[in-house]
Copies of this chain bind each other. A is one copy, B any other.
Amino acid sequence: MASPVTRSLIVLLFVGAATGPVRSQQAGAVVSPEIMADNRATFRVRAPNAKDVLLALEGTGRIPLVSDGSGVWSVTTPPLQPDYYAYSFIVDGVAIVDPANPVTRPNLLNQQSVVYIPGASPLPWETRPVPRGTIHHHFYRSRVAGDERDFYVYTPPGYDARARKRYPVLYLQHGYSGDARGWLAGGPANVILDNLIADGRAEPMLLVMSLGYGLPNFVRRGDPDLRVLKDNYDRFKEALLTEVIPLVERHYRVATDRNSRAMAGLSMGGAEALYVGLNTLDRFAWVGSFSAGGMLEDYAATFPALSGEANRQLRLLWIACGTDDPLVGANRKFREWLMSQGVDFTAIETPGMHTWMVWRRNLIAFVPLLFKPVSSKR
């Protein structure tokens, strides 16, 4: 008969084995990714019969892996800048997440694994021993979209529903194929805000992250035509203005004047921030777009009332794009149109592609500009 010690362990291990295929206990399990002291990373995957295995690494492109002859493919990168990197393996043409890595970034089209290369000193997106905010996940039935949907609210450290203070709000949108979790998984926006607030670089504020599609199952519909694309944006706008914002303002201690509302987003969410923000300047005084994409390009029809008059209302219009982003041309073109209309803005171009490396740095640069007293208008 096994000793009590042995039996306990058998029982515990059995539990793991019973709930599914436990990867770490598989014969020939690999370690992946493995981070070296000099910031190189080795990626490994078992694929005994594959003929072609690539690593798709965020911000880098595709790198071939080499088989060791026993079924394990691997590649070691050059030293990587400290940051989060999403990646997939592409095994004989099929993209998969890393079977050995439990950390993934959710996405409606292309879930990816995530590896973190830590920095030598705390970086703005790294958890530090500072007061932490809280994330609230709300569920509601959308009359506008006709579905059950959700949004997330970040409340800053010290937020107290019973106190008198009212906070400003940044409405922050994910990109195409993401969902309401996008900025929490990709930023992480809550950690960035915790750190900026702890350092006195940002006003304590709420973040609201809602689902960026006005039509149900928009991503699964496949390629939209222009009419569907516009309908999607219009319903998104209506859901945000008539459902999400009223819910937030009913449940949280937030200021409801236009100087206390900002809107920003990345990629499709950047196009949405421009579309909603610049068309409802009575509601938003601060607008930011990070690598805006999927814009309705008939700008005069998209922003029918926008003119130099907006400069009196806009506290900040901040338009950013990575210089290696294929969308940088479209963003420059939009900025030219704004100039032709006499609308002031801040143009930001930073190194980088259409990646979270760019967007988390955009957020870190953008948030400290928000909700300053009126006297400090740029």
Contact = CB atoms under 8 A, between A and B. Distances in A.
B104 A24 contact: no
A145 interface: no
B93 A96 contact: no
Query: For the side of the interface on A, what is the size category?
Result: 35 or more
A364 B106 CA distance: 28
Given A15-B268, A51-B49, A106-B102, A8 B95 contact: no
Given A20-B56, A137-B136, A293-B15, A9 B94 contact: no
B24 A109 contact: yes
Contact of A20 (B5, B14, B112, B135): B112
A132 B140 CA distance: 7
A23 B58 CA distance: 16
B137 A21 contact: no
Contacts of A222: 24
A310 interface: no
Contacts of A5: 225-226
A47 B137 contact: no
A102 to B, nearest CB: 5
B16 A176 contact: yes
Contacts of A4: 226, 297-298
B16 A109 contact: yes
A144 to B, nearest CB: 16
Contact of A99 (B8, B95, B293): B95
A56 to B, nearest CB: 5
Contacts of A129: 141
A295 B13 CA distance: 11
Main DSSP-derived SS at the A contact region: loop
Nearest to A109: B22
Contacts of A47: 91-92, 94
Contacts of A51: 48-49
A249 B149 CA distance: 29
A12 B96 CA distance: 23
Which of A48, A104, A148 has the largest count of B CB atoms less than 10 A from its CB? A48
A240 interface: no
Contacts of A9: 223-226, 229
B293 A177 contact: no
Interface in A23-55: 23-24, 26-28, 45-51
A14 B327 contact: yes
A222 B16 CA distance: 11
A177 B102 CA distance: 10
Given A18-B353, A21-B88, A11 B99 contact: no
Nearest to A355: B19
A296 interface: yes
B46 A49 contact: no
Contact of A327 (B11, B295, B296, B330): B11
A135 B137 contact: yes
Contacts of A111: 97, 102, 104
A283 interface: no
A33 to B, nearest CB: 14
Given A50-B49, A268-B12, A18 B354 contact: yes
15 contacts: A9-B225, A16-B176, A19-B267, A20-B58, A23-B109, A24-B109, A46-B94, A49-B51, A97-B111, A102-B108, A102-B109, A134-B137, A135-B137, A136-B136, A161-B162
Given A96-B99, A102-B108, 11 more contacts: A5-B225, A8-B296, A9-B224, A11-B294, A11-B297, A15-B176, A15-B293, A24-B222, A96-B97, A102-B107, A104-B106
